[in-house]
Amino acid sequence: WHAVCAASEAAPDGRKGAESYLRELIWREFSYQLLFHHPYLPEAAFKPEFNAFPWTQNEQGLEAWRRGRTGYPIVDAGMRQLWETGWMHNRVRMIVASFLIKHLLVDWREGEAWFWDTLVDADLANNAASWQWVAGSGADAAPYFRIFNPTLQSEKFDAEGGYIRRFVPELAKLDNAGIHAPWLAAPAALARGGVKLGETYSLPIVDHGKARIAALAAYEAIKK
């Protein structure tokens, strides 16, 4: 902590990165404290009402998520990077976790288990606390109505599509306008990019708008 603070003072240009690093350290320590006082954290919701959440038995969706075949390029890029390298950026972790929980309504524990098996930096406390943060069931969790739009996240954090092109090479020849949501791209753009939706690249396995409505309805149900 002190070394990072000193380094950021000496090199102000790196202060933003240093602050991000320190935030993650604080989150890790907070997660350790949670697990120490609540040892059930990896198996049960911190907020008991979430134990009644109506999760779906969506095995097909879960497998598509694991393999990076959801039809949402930023999600697929993240999951393929995880499988290939055992790591992905924290932003992408949040995007793919939100997609599994709030687009597919798959129990957060399925995602927690997959991350535990595949991440080289897997940490019991951090993993459990982070998945519950996304699900809305954890301590100081994200509000249940915070549902990431994966396309907007992609456009904001991978504007040029470089990340997607690296890990989803079948989309590499699409232009920047089409790479974030290929199903919305013009037929001519898809043809130029050599993309055949449903053949060379998956169609979206779920519609974002409909998924958002379903997720909000499910969350409202446990509040009654």
Which residues are tagged catalytic?
A: 24, 27, 55, 90, 108, 131
The 3-state DSSP class for residue 197 equals strand
- Phi first, then psi, for residue 26 (nearest 5°) are -65, -40
* Residue 181 · residue 195 · CB < 8 Å: no
- With 0-12 / 13-18 / 19 or more C-beta atoms within 10 angstroms meaning exposed / middle / buried, residue 10 is exposed
* Residue 74 · residue 154 · CB < 8 Å: yes
Between CA 102 and CA 147 the distance in angstroms is 7
Of the CA atoms within 13 Å of residue 30, those in its CB half-sphere come to 13
Q: Shortest CA distance to 76 belongs to which of 53, 59, 99, 49? A: 99
Q: Shortest CA distance to 204 belongs to which of 54, 102, 75? A: 75
- Phi first, then psi, for residue 197 (nearest 5°) are -65, 135
